[in-house]
Amino acid sequence: MEYSLIPSLILNILGCLLSISIAIYLAGFRSGFLGTTIGKWIFVLLLLIVVGSIGCSIGIAALMFSPEWFATTSLPNQLFLALRFPIGCAVAGANFQIALERYWLVFHEESVPFVYTAGFGIHAAATITTVIIASVTSETYNYRRPGGTWQTPTLLVLAIQYMILAFGGLAYLYGKTYLHVVETLKQANAIGLQSDGRQRSEELRMRVLNSCIMLTMAFSNCYTCDAILVLMSLILPQGWNPPKWADVLAHTLVALDMVVTPILIVRLHSSLFEGTVLSTITSRFSSSSKSSKARSKTNGSIGEKDSCNPESGNTASQRGTIPRSMR
């Protein structure tokens, strides 16, 4: 029995139970949140975690109790590959779609256009179908690499695509989102927010920064090790297997994501990325700008009236002596 895989098995079970609990809570008590596009994607991500954690728990349990079965038989490796790779692509795609939705809400104050979502969904479905076909049509004794002549290079291309999408895409989208929020807050401060408004804007900026860092680093840290092992398995000659410690570490980190992601959803699902807080600041910034322009026009018209009215000179001079804080 492989006792070193016990932590990853426990984490997968905990992640499954936690995701089910959060999904039930959102469906039963936060139906309004699920009515939003980002809420639906978060719900999809939770369902993917449930499916992935159940499948990985079964596979890890088989590895723990029957390691010789994987070493001498192709079927369990094919089945585990047909499960792990598609689930990894689906989780990466859901995380990217959530990041894209938040980016679109912040920049455009609307959901991602349906044509983009549909195109991405078609690509993801084609990728998952290709992976499953490649897994079941070739014998292999490494559940990170299929056999055959066309299967291995095909999965290598697909793996590189989704690694760039997941790691690079998340970093780019969350980085652009943070910089845009900072620029918006600078413009809001430039028009003269009061001290409490500036304090709230600083708290908001830090909240965005923490959210972006946590969401990006959580996914990257949990999947980098397994991504490296997948690439090495696909690039190196067939028959190569990763060291046991690296394999155990990769399983543990991926299982850790099954717990970390639901916790982050609880922590961040009501954040400014839903568009509420940032939209409020943006609207206030726009209304403040309009008010400033209106006041300028009003003051200009008053000045013209005063200059035309001789009796208003004393009033104008008195108005000029009124402290700014009293106006």
pLDDT of 187 reads 75
The answer as to CATH 1.20.1070.10 being correct for domain 3-288 is yes
Are 22 and 265 in contact by the 8 Å Cβ rule? The answer is: yes
pLDDT of 186 reads 76
Residue 307 has pLDDT above 90, yes or no: no
Question: Mean of the pLDDT values across residues 95-116?
Answer: 89
**Tens-digit pLDDT profile for residues 161-196:** 999 988 899 889 888 888 887 787 777 666 665 555
Alpha-helical (H) ranges within the chain are: 6-29, 31-34, 37-65, 67-72, 74-108, 114-136, 151-163, 169-190, 195-235, 244-268, 276-308, 313-320
Is this structure's pTM higher than 0.85? Answer: no
Q: Please report which confidence band the pLDDT of residue 202 belongs to, taking 50, 70 and 90 as the band edges.
A: low
Burial class (CB in 10 A: 0-12, 13-18, 19+), 57: buried
- Crossing angle of helices 244-268 and 6-29, in 10° steps, is 20
